[in-house]
Amino acid sequence: MKFCSHCGDDVEKKIPEDDNRQRYVCLGCEHIHYQNPNIVAGTIPTWGDKVLLCKRAIEPRLGYWTLPAGFMENQETT
């Protein structure tokens, strides 16, 4: 990837703040271009007769309860 699909400026590969992987980031508008296959994985973990829930720390639905789930990254195992 050489150019931002939002503004057309150059992009560079770097680790964005609050991330742990290199991404293509626009030098102009700072849009992060994620490259993943958009697979979502989730689970229903139980402990005895109870189900583990997670309280969302980010939008959408900040503060709501949800099952543990998320987007899979390239080269990431389930």
With CA atoms as reference, report the closest residue to 73 among 25, 31, 19: 19
CA atoms of 41 and 19, how far apart (whole Å)? 19
Q: Residue 25's pLDDT is what?
A: 97
Name the pairing type of β-strands 23-26 and 11-14.
antiparallel
Show me where the domains of the chain are located.
1-35, 36-73
Q: Position 22: which residue type?
A: Q
Amino acid found at 51: V
- What pLDDT is attached to residue 42? 93
Report the pLDDT value the prediction gives residue 71, as an integer from 0 to 100.
Answer: 86
What's the pLDDT tens digit per position in 6-64?
A: 999 999 999 999 899 999 999 999 999 988 777 889 999 999 999 999 999 989 899 99
Q: In CATH, which of 2.20.70.10, 1.20.120.1200, 3.40.50.300, 3.40.50.1820 is domain 1-35? A: 2.20.70.10
Q: What is the pLDDT of residue 54?
A: 96
Report how far apart the first and last C-alpha atoms of the chain are (Å, whole number).
27
Nearest by Cα to 26 from 54, 4, 45, 43: 4
